[in-house]
Amino acid sequence: MIGAVIILGVVCAVIALGAVLAWAVTRQEVPGVGPAVGTQSARGLPSGPVGPDAVRALRFDPAVRGYRMEQVDEVLARLSDELGERDAEITRLRDGTAGGAEERPDLTAEGRP
């Protein structure tokens, strides 16, 4: 009976020591690891049209078994560049600065060029 109590005491002591060590390790700064993120999820894109600035400002919360930040950042950079080019092209086409008006054949009275 006394042996079971000793074994139970040793097991409880090991568990308590493990809990204290785990708590202490989580309080230490780890080189190369960013600060802990909050419990709120990242804000998504704003409502309405998505522009290149909105994509550049977009950030995700990294998590254990999250994503490879370099890959996502590369895709977001490309997406924001392409959105910027698209918006510039749309603006250019709407303003009519696409190199002047298209040449259209002059229709004569017969309706043929």
Contact, 61 vs 42, CB < 8 A?
yes
Nearest 5°: CA angle at 76, between 52 and 65?
Answer: 145
Give the pLDDT band of residue 38 (cuts 50, 70, 90). low
Q: pLDDT digits over 7-19, tens only?
A: 999 999 999 999 9
Q: Which two tokens stand for residue 61?
A: 């919360």
Where are the alpha helices (H) located in the chain, listed in sequence order?
Answer: 2-26, 52-57, 69-95
pLDDT of residue 47: 75
Largest Cα–Cα distance of the chain, in whole Å? 118
Q: Which two tokens stand for residue 35?
A: 């600060």
Instruction: Give the closest residue to 83 by CA, choosing from 52, 38, 111.
Output: 52
pLDDT at position 56:
79
Per-residue model confidence as pLDDT tens digits over 55-69: 777 777 766 677 777
Average pLDDT over residues 74-89: 87
Closest by alpha carbon to 51, among 95, 92, 91? 91
d(CA 60, CA 67): 9
What is the pTM for the complete model shown? 0.41
High-pLDDT (> 70) share of the chain, %: 68
Looking at residue 22, what is its pLDDT?
84
DSSP single-letter state for residue 64: T
> Is the pLDDT assigned to residue 81 strictly greater than 80?
yes
